[in-house]
Amino acid sequence: MTDAPSPRTQVRRHPERAAYDRGAIDAILDDALICHLAWVTPDGFPRIVPTIHVRVGDTLYVHGSEASRTLRALGSGAQVCVEATLIDGLVLARSTPLHSMNYRSVVVYGSARDVADPGERDLAQRALVEHVIPGRTAEVRMPTDKELKETAILAIGLDESSAKIRTGPPKDPDEDLALDVWAGVLPVRMTAGEPEPSPDLGPDIGVPAYVTGYRRSGRGVTA
Amino acid sequence: MTDAPSPRTQVRRHPERAAYDRGAIDAILDDALICHLAWVTPDGFPRIVPTIHVRVGDTLYVHGSEASRTLRALGSGAQVCVEATLIDGLVLARSTPLHSMNYRSVVVYGSARDVADPGERDLAQRALVEHVIPGRTAEVRMPTDKELKETAILAIGLDESSAKIRTGPPKDPDEDLALDVWAGVLPVRMTAGEPEPSPDLGPDIGVPAYVTGYRRSGRGVTA
């Protein structure tokens, strides 16, 4: 196992769940549909928004649901924290305090950079759509210059990141094993349902294979 | 529609998605399995942890995966921000910038209070388990005094909270409607799989109905 890249990325609670290698970190970021982005407001308060993200190499791009003004203000080097969490199961122990969840999470710390270069903006906005729906950008209209300008995209390096992963059954102490109560894991996962065509869609346009066969690489979403 | 309870809870981007009534806020908090908790570290950096939560009346209780020391430090009145997000669908528009997600999210701002009263601690820890697996606490061992002391529970009032909800198909402009590309929504939801008994479980203990029939009140998790 590699070491934590910084004190704040070191997993202190349940260190056995930590993963500091980029393979584990990348797999979670790639699988998670969304992440949560936090920053400190000018008056010193914490703030979070859920946002779509994509990892491209060593860079995490996020695309906020927040007004561009807020995101662009962050883009001048503000410190941000990004968390992506996937829930894989509910862990039912024989006592309330040992109940848990199986999960995979990543935290990234870094300073945010507003993506201004047109080429990088184009790459990032395509990658953001491909992260959510692989295959989609080959078919759809690309943004106009005006639309591209309206989109705020932030980049955060992955140098300071770590993962935390829990798997497996509950860990009841020996003295609880005789209790007459079911113990185990109830797996949960995100699944895709039946595609719902837009009411304004022409009748001769079929559902593409990347929609009917939608699934993420990991456990994130299955058809 | 009620008004936002404070400037920072007011939804500025896509205000038509805002909901400020407690009915909408409570439903999302009750449906979401986990939330994300953010705060500002003593050196001024933003930090997030995913955490299990439960709403009891007007109070949100969170139970961190973080070391108790950190959570208890917050409990002396630190300002926190909590976000819970449920993804309901992928919204496939005819152009990349109009791609979106259908989601329900809640943000809560407030100062955290460390729950110290034994009666409230007992109530909150039971409610946290019941939030994840309704019916569970009737069967399992309750915490010992030692275990209860080791658990950090924070309370946050819901006075300053708001919801944001997107539903429905993509909103393509008229000039995109003739494009030869599928548009619509791919619904996604969390589903429960087959229960996995603990390897140390006796063969005569069956899976309880609250596990085999697991589903959340809303769209959060279905069997």
CATH code for position A130: 2.30.110.10
Local confidence band at A73 (pLDDT 50, 70, 90 cut-offs): confident
Among A37, A53, A188, the residue to mutate for chain B (most B Cβ within 10 A): A188
Q: Measure the CA–CA gap between A211 and A194, rounded to whole angstroms.
A: 9
Among B96, B128, B176, the residue to mutate for chain A (most A Cβ within 10 A): B96
Task: Please indicate, yes or no, if residue B126 is contained in any of the structural domains.
Answer: yes
Nearest chain A residue (CA) to B90: A132
Task: Please indicate, yes or no, if residue A38 is contained in any of the structural domains.
Answer: yes
Contacts of B195 in chain A (CB under 8 A): 182, 184-186
Task: Please indicate, yes or no, if residue A186 is contained in any of the structural domains.
Answer: no
Contacts of B13 in chain A (CB under 8 A): 65-67
Task: Please indicate, yes or no, if residue B85 is contained in any of the structural domains.
Answer: yes
Q: How many domains does chain A have?
A: 1
CA B76 centroid distance within chain:
23
| pLDDT tens per residue across span A103-157 | 999 999 999 999 989 899 999 999 999 999 999 999 999 999 888 877 889 999 9
pLDDT at res. B222: 58
Rounded percentage of chain B residues whose pLDDT exceeds 70: 93
With CB atoms and an 8 Å threshold, state whether A188 touches B50: no
Query: Tokens in use for B124?
Result: 């909150």
| pLDDT tens per residue across span A34-53 | 999 999 998 899 999 999 99
- Predicted confidence (pLDDT) at residue B131 exceeds the cutoff of 70: yes
Closest CA to B72 of B64, B82, B81, B60: B64
With CB atoms and an 8 Å threshold, state whether B48 touches A107: yes
With CB atoms and an 8 Å threshold, state whether B196 touches A99: no
pLDDT at res. B149: 79
Task: Please indicate, yes or no, if residue B1 is contained in any of the structural domains.
Answer: no
Higher pLDDT, A194 or B151: A194
Query: Tokens in use for B161?
Result: 């909270």
The DSSP H or E segment spanning A78 is strand A76-92
Local confidence band at B217 (pLDDT 50, 70, 90 cut-offs): low
Local confidence band at A178 (pLDDT 50, 70, 90 cut-offs): very high
| Domain that includes residue A99, residue range | 7-172
Q: Which amino acid is at B63?
A: H
pLDDT at res. B146: 84
Query: Tokens in use for B62?
Result: 């969170």
With CB atoms and an 8 Å threshold, state whether B52 touches A13: no
Question: ipTM, 2 decimals?
Answer: 0.93
Nearest chain A residue (CA) to B222: A188
With CB atoms and an 8 Å threshold, state whether A201 touches B193: no
pLDDT at res. B1: 53
Task: Please indicate, yes or no, if residue B129 is contained in any of the structural domains.
Answer: yes
* pTM given for the model: 0.93
Residue B132 to residues A173, B136, B169, Cα–Cα distance (Å): 22, 9, 31
